[in-house]
Structure 1
Amino acid sequence: MEISHAKQVINIDAKLTERINELLSHYPADKKKSAMLPVLHEVQDAHDNWLSIELMDRVAEILEVQPIEVYEVASFYTMFNQKPVGKYMFEFCRTSCCAIRGAEDLMDYTCSKLGIKEGETTPDGNFSVVGVECLGACGYAPMLQLGDYYKEHLTKEKIDALIDECRDNKVNLH
């Protein structure tokens, strides 16, 4: 697990608490741990798309589990970020269908265009580029996920247009 030393403001406000309690209501009271994935998603979404150690500790308190149990889950799944990421996170599928169709080259192209390496964030905090495991859209390869949306049948031209749309704040992430 990569440990982040960045400081994060933890804000479990009334709205987030209400949402967490609603999620917990779907599980037996003595099995709060069962809600870990949806709770982590909600908490991460409310905290600039990343989970600091302190925030994961807070989730452990809420779920009444040991902090290590939260760390194990958060470090296993690529959908959870343990360091600050860009507002626009380009998650390139890098498994077979996408790889065969050129996803690695497009990821390299995107990194070059943004002046970063895979796993890095641009200095302005707007863009991150990461490779992830199968996103389940093999018929639309190569593809990436941006926020809640898939961007499919990618080309360099589509990447250029997507970067421009992000810079112009014309991309809906949710």
Structure 2
Amino acid sequence: MSLSYENYLALEKYIESFEDKRGSLIIILHKAQEIFGYIPEEVQEFIGECIDLPKEKISEIVNFYSFFSTEPKGKYEIMVCLGVKCKKKGGYAILKDLEQELQIKDGEVTKDGTFRLKSVNCLGACGSAPVVVIGSTLITEADTEKIKKILHEFEK
């Protein structure tokens, strides 16, 4: 996904299909995220120009709803729990190992767009610490080797 001219044209065509453009803003934002993979400021500004609404208003909506993202997402999100118990049992070391394995830092996306690495405060499985989620796969009592095996399955 990219901020290509073709993607802007596709979004503009989609926006033009609505009679009530402002009333369709949420639907338009979903389409923008589908087209671009996220909704950066440039795209918010473009939408604002198309529907005659200030970018600030669009930004408020994008930042309010958790299903919108202003940063690139990977195809799969890797969440590493750094809650107290997970951190004590090696969660931070797992995060650092994954940063090295994927060649990205916490919050970044791999160059091929497959993975986004993200540390979180709690995944609600403290009894099985450390915990990591890849996509929708919960990995309990995680260690780097277990995670690497699962990562390779997602890369296929």
Q: What TM-score, normalized by structure 2, do the two folds share?
A: 0.62
Q: Identify the residue that residue 20 of structure 2 maps to in structure 1.
A: none
Q: 1:142 and 1:73 mapped to 2: Cα distance?
A: 35
Structure 1 vs Structure 2 CA RMSD: 4.0
Q: Secondary structure at the match of 1:129?
A: strand
Unaligned segments of structure 2, at least 5 residues: 18-22
Quote how far apart the aligned CAs of 1:162 are.
Answer: 1.6
**1:48–1:96: structure 2 CA closer, same or farther, 3 Å change rule?**
farther
Quote how far apart the aligned CAs of 1:78 are.
Answer: 7.2
Quote how far apart the aligned CAs of 1:106 are.
Answer: 0.7
Q: Secondary structure at the match of 1:46?
A: helix
1:123 is aligned to 2:100: no
Q: Identify the residue that residue 139 of structure 2 maps to in structure 1.
A: 152
Unaligned segments of structure 1, at least 5 residues: 1-5, 18-31, 169-174
Q: 1:144 and 1:69 mapped to 2: Cα distance?
A: 36
Q: 1:107 and 1:150 mapped to 2: Cα distance?
A: 17
2:72 to 78, 84, 106: 84
**1:48–1:98: structure 2 CA closer, same or farther, 3 Å change rule?**
farther
Q: Identify the residue that residue 40 of structure 2 maps to in structure 1.
A: 52
Q: Identify the residue that residue 7 of structure 1 maps to in structure 2.
A: 3
Rg (Cα) greater in structure: 2
**1:59–1:145: structure 2 CA closer, same or farther, 3 Å change rule?**
farther
* Per-residue deviation, residues 56-79 of structure 1 (Å, max 9, x unmatched): 457779xx9864355346457776
Does structure 2 retain, via aligned residues, the 8 Å contact 1:95–1:134? yes
Does structure 2 retain, via aligned residues, the 8 Å contact 1:141–1:152? no
Q: Secondary structure at the match of 2:80?
A: strand
* Per-residue deviation, residues 7-36 of structure 1 (Å, max 9, x unmatched): 26355687xx9xxxxxxxxxxxxxx8xx96
